[in-house]
């Protein structure tokens, strides 16, 4: 009999799988790496709300004031969503506020002076916005003119068109349906029943994303983190419904904004178009070599951005019950600030459409709270400028750390 070789290795017992990290371990690791996601923005919003609740002597959290706050940020939300799309491809659009005002004026002029039906007026305003975005995208993507120059020229030009369209400075909106878009509310039971499918769809898509990544063998967030994220959405939604129900219900404009955010979240998260947008923003040359139509993506993004700005203009005209030749000087600032403060990178390729919610709430809370304290526009602009500067600085530092591999 031959003896076994002394070099033959003994069987090795399988190594037990490592337990998934717990909440505190994940938080410690992200804190060490400087990757806390939306947590700093959420904490900032909470601190702002507590500060104004104390200084306003309990007025800030009153249901009527919170409802007014949500109404105030509807237009900012749509323009902020437009800014998110443009920033994701590492571009800029300075014409968003002018486009919103112009499309709002188209709505009011067609309805008040031409006798157009509400449907014709709304569709016409949105089509004008889409055409404007298509023209911007053509010059930027096809002719390769810098987006800063193209949209600055558009800002100046469309301001002139707006003044030409409204020679008498302003026109009042008289159609009750159009003025009711921002003035009307969903009341019980619709204010409770309609949001449920939106919340359920968000939670289900979060779970479906985890299942798909698990089947593909990709890294994924721990199950407790997915559950915590979905639970937070449910809890916040329930609290919001309680607040709305205690006043007049859910504003129509809020439901329109939330629906748009959910639709674009699905597009950006689960479609090839969304993946291509992030790819173009991350590295346009690499995306081109991978076969992605960079020109088409850029044209589509600018077209969508101006279309969203048009919807924001419709909501603004409905809320003001008029159209004015004077463009809100802070509207563009608020839109870009909402996107950047919410976590969208100025350098492209990073961010989520949900950033608009947090960013708009921070901008809206600052303006609303300072109004409650009887502060002027000068103070509001200075505070918003400081907050925006801090957000941009954090974004630049985080991106530099990630690029150099520092932790």
- Decide if 45 is inside a domain: no
* Bridge partner list, 250: 186
Categorize the per-residue pLDDT at 32 as very low, low, confident or very high, splitting at 50, 70 and 90. very low
Largest CA distance in the chain: 110
* Count of C-beta atoms within a 10 Å radius of residue 290: 11
- Decide if 204 is inside a domain: no
Torsion of CA 103, 105, 111, 117, to 10 degrees: 0
Q: What are the backbone angles phi and psi of residue 73, rounded to the nearest 5°?
A: -95, 5
- Decide if 3 is inside a domain: no
Task: Give me the residue label for tokens 């096809």.
Answer: 142
Residues 6 or more apart whose CB falls under 8 angstroms from that of 91 comprise 140, 147, 298, 301, 302, 348
Tens-place pLDDT, residues 263-275: 999 899 889 999 9
Lowest mean pLDDT among 147-151, 289-293, 381-385, 402-406: 402-406
pTM: 0.83
The mean pLDDT of 273-293, rounded to a whole number, is 92
| Residue 230 pLDDT greater than 80, yes or no | no
- Decide if 34 is inside a domain: no
Tens-place pLDDT, residues 320-373: 888 888 888 888 988 988 888 888 888 888 888 888 888 888 888 888 999 988
- Decide if 310 is inside a domain: yes
Tens-place pLDDT, residues 241-256: 888 888 888 888 888 9
- Decide if 238 is inside a domain: no
Cα 254 to the center of its chain, rounded Å: 13
Categorize the per-residue pLDDT at 402 as very low, low, confident or very high, splitting at 50, 70 and 90. low
Residues 6 or more apart whose CB falls under 8 angstroms from that of 101 comprise 158, 162, 313, 316, 323, 324, 327, 328, 331
- pLDDT at res. 407: 43
| Residue 37 pLDDT greater than 70, yes or no | no
- pLDDT at res. 187: 76
* DSSP symbol at 348: S
Lowest mean pLDDT among 10-14, 194-198, 305-309: 10-14
Categorize the per-residue pLDDT at 108 as very low, low, confident or very high, splitting at 50, 70 and 90. very high
Nearest-angstrom CA–CA distance, 29 and 26: 5
- Decide if 209 is inside a domain: no
Categorize the per-residue pLDDT at 403 as very low, low, confident or very high, splitting at 50, 70 and 90. low
**SS3 call for 365:** helix
Number of domains within the chain? 1
Range of the domain at 383: 56-187+248-399
- Residue 301 half-sphere exposure toward CB, CA atoms < 13 A: 31
Q: Read off the CATH number of the domain in which 96 is found.
A: 1.10.3470
- pLDDT at res. 34: 45
- Decide if 233 is inside a domain: no
- pLDDT at res. 287: 92
Q: In what helix (H) or strand (E) does residue 43 lie, and over which residues does it extend?
A: helix 39-55
Enter the tokens of residue 308: 């969203």
């Amino acid at each position: 009999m031959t003896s076994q070789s002394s070099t033959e290795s003994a069987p090795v017992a399988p190594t037990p799988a490592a337990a998934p990290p717990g909440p505190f371990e994940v938080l410690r690791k992200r804190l060490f790496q400087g990757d806390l996601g939306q947590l700093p923005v959420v904490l900032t919003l909470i601190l702002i709300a507590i500060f104004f609740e104390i200084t306003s002597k309990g007025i800030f959290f009153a249901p009527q004031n919170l409802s007014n706050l949500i109404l105030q940020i509807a237009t900012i939300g749509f323009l902020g969503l437009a800014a998110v799309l443009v920033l994701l491809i590492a571009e800029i659009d300075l014409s968003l506020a002018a486009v919103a005002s112009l499309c709002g004026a188209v709505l009011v002029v067609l309805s008040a002076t031409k006798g157009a039906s509400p449907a014709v007026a709304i569709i016409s305003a949105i089509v004008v916005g889409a055409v404007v975005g298509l023209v911007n995208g053509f010059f930027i993507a096809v002719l390769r003119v810098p987006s800063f120059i193209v949209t600055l020229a558009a800002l100046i030009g469309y301001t002139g068109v707006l003044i030409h369209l409204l020679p008498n400075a302003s026109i009042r909106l008289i159609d009750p349906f159009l003025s009711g878009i921002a003035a009307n509310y969903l009341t019980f039971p619709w204010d409770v029943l309609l949001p449920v499918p939106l919340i359920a769809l968000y939670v289900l898509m979060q779970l479906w994303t985890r299942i798909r990544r698990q089947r593909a063998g990709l890294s994924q967030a721990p199950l407790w983190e997915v559950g915590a994220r979905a639970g937070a959405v449910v809890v916040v939604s329930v609290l919001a419904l309680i607040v709305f129900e205690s006043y007049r219900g859910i504003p129509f404009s809020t439901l329109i904004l939330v629906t748009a955010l959910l639709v674009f979240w699905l597009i950006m998260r689960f479609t090839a178009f969304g993946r291509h947008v992030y790819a173009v923003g991350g590295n346009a040359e690499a995306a081109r070599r991978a076969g992605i139509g960079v020109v088409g993506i850029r044209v589509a993004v600018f077209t969508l951005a101006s279309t969203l700005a048009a919807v924001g203009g419709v909501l603004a005209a409905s809320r003001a019950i008029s159209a004015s030749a004077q463009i809100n000087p802070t509207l563009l600032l608020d839109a870009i600030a909402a996107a950047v403060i919410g976590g969208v990178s100025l350098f492209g390729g990073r961010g989520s459409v949900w950033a608009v919610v947090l960013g708009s709430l921070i901008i809206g809370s600052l303006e609303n709270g300072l109004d409650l304290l009887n502060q002027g526009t000068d103070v509001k602009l200075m505070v918003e400028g400081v907050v925006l500067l801090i957000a941009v600085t954090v974004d630049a530092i985080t991106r530099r750390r990630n690029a150099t591999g520092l932790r």
